[in-house]
A and B are shown apart, each in its own frame.
Chain A
Amino acid sequence: MTITIHPNEIIETIKMIETENLDIRTITLGISLRDCTGQNSSEIAEKIYEKIVNKAGRLVAVGDEIQQEFGVPIINKRISVTPISLIGGLNRPEDYIEIAKSLDKAAKEVGVDFLGGFSALVHKGVTKEETALIEAIPQALAETDRVCASVNVASTKAGINMDAVAQMGIIIKKAAELSKDADSIACAKLVVFCNVPEDNPFMAGAFHGIGEPETVINIGVSGPGVVRNAVKNYPNEDFGTLAEVVKKTAFKITRMGELVGRAASEKLSVPFGIVDLSLAPTPAAGDSVAEILEAFGLERCGTHGTTAALALLNDAVKKGGSMASSYVGGLSGAFIPVSEDAGMIRAVEDGALNIEKLEAMTCVCSVGLDMIAVPGNTSASTLSAIIADEMAIGMINNKTTAVRIIPAWGKGAGDSVYFGGLLGSAPIMKLNKYGSDSFVARGGRIPAPIQALTN
């Protein structure tokens, strides 16, 4: 018998977990609900509840078991389901609200913190079911705790459905109003996407895509603190060295995800889907993507050079991570949610980071304008215009982008919103004072872009 692992490597792993917040952000169990059909909404709601409880009953226990065996914290256990708009037989918004409540009840019964899939894919146009589901979103989110909604309104192949974009501005406003007593928290559970991935394990945008099997395990890893500490050891080295450091660290972090994913898949007898190679920050001290960029040598995240730094970081994470896992998918990149990242919050408060710079940053990393609080009196058309800009970035660059924006009811620029937990808190950002009403009011679709002649 030989010790194949050097003591220094063992200490390195333990240090990552104990002091640098290395964790598995989420084990997400995808469940197909396509067989949950029925004559009326009550029957469908009951079938959905039973299927989820049946398939996910052991998810939390297995997650806890793996956490103890491997000594790696597993922060969240979650569920994603088939986009609810694809389940036939539901026609009225009140039907969908009933389903949302059933999903919420199932999530609470099995003990997961979020359940995603109250979703519609409408990048080319809407069906009557999708219309009803989208209309139900504000009330569904305001009256449930754990259900997350997402709407895909654009894709590179279909273009941007501007009618849906216009409607989402109104829906977001309505969701903010209905949850005004809780800092408009319903908006934190709603994402508008371009090129949405079908196997994303992260909330609020997770759903179980139509190409997925009956059930599947997807893993989201975390670890910005580990990367930041690794980078800090090389304060003066050139960019080639820096990229190398990030790659090696991303490899190690992702290996944990791969290990946990395989173990969960084996214990639950569910096929292993993908590891999502994302750097997901939390509000905890040191667990910040902004602080990695600052460790690169920027005085504050958001200053000139931030986009270049983020491009390097995002690419190096993908290169290191893809080597570490057999199957990579989901969003895979660095997340820059403002409210969930202490460094981002500080950058906004110090005036270093504004919404225009954030938009530029989303061109080179995953997701998009995420967890951004804006004044409560922002008009629906301005929200739609913000969404349209972000969708255009995704469409043209052939990548996933998203908007999760919170028009905080009754609050203005300079105030803050508080959600608690992983959702954190956010200073309210200033927007451009000029309107976009006539632009948004045009309606129709922005045509799909040409994919050659790329300049």
Chain B
Amino acid sequence: MDNDNRIIVTVLGQDKIGIIAGVTTVLAETKANILDISQTVLQEFLTMILVVDLAECELEFEEIRQRLINVGEQIGVQITAQHESVFKYMHRI
């Protein structure tokens, strides 16, 4: 599996203040590097996708995932974090 360090973080939920701040703070604390962010807001429903590089990261993926889920719960949005290979495998030959 190529590039094992990249993960995709998705944020789904009602748009509100502080979502990006909350998510990026967690990533910065863990020394995860954000490669790209895209977001769309459709009728107050936010979809945000971050491509994140964990190469410099000191923590295990599972610990980062858990922190992201926790911050999602505090803000009131759903956050998922998965290895990029999941999406590459499903959508590219």
Interface residues of A (CB under 8 A from B): 1, 3-7, 9-14, 68-72, 252, 255-256, 258-259, 262-263, 323
Contacts and interface: CB of A to CB of B under 8 A. Distances in A.
Interface in B42-72: 47, 49, 51, 61-62, 65
A414 B80 CA distance: 45
A5 B47 contact: no
B89 A5 contact: no
A252 B91 CA distance: 7
- Residue among A10, A68, A323 with max Cβ neighbours from chain B (10 Å): A10
B49 A4 contact: no
A273 B76 CA distance: 42
Nearest to A253: B90
Minimum-distance CB pairs A-B, first 8: A71-B82, A259-B89, A9-B91, A5-B87, A255-B89, A70-B86, A255-B90, A252-B90
A9 B8 CA distance: 12
A10 B8 contact: yes
A13 B88 contact: no
B10 A14 contact: yes
Interface residues of B, number: 28
B16 to A, nearest CB: 19
Question: Which applies to chain A's interface (DSSP): helix, strand, loop or mixed?
Answer: helix
Contacts of A323: 93
Contact of B86 (A3, A7, A259, A262): A259
Contact of A7 (B38, B65, B85, B88): B38
B73 to A, nearest CB: 16
A18 B61 CA distance: 21
Given A14-B10, A69-B82, A5 B1 contact: no
B89 A256 contact: yes
21 contacts: A1-B51, A3-B51, A4-B88, A5-B84, A5-B91, A6-B91, A7-B47, A7-B49, A9-B87, A10-B8, A10-B10, A10-B87, A13-B90, A14-B80, A69-B82, A70-B83, A71-B80, A255-B89, A255-B90, A256-B89, A259-B89
Contacts of B8: 5, 10
Contacts of B90: 9, 13, 252, 255-256, 259
B36 interface: yes
Interface in B1-40: 1, 8, 10, 12, 35-36, 38, 40
A262 B85 CA distance: 12
Nearest to B12: A14
Contacts of A256: 86, 89-90
Contacts of B93: 323
A68 B64 CA distance: 11
Contacts of A3: 35-36, 38, 51
B57 to A, nearest CB: 14
Contacts of B12: 14
Nearest to A69: B83
A68 B81 CA distance: 9
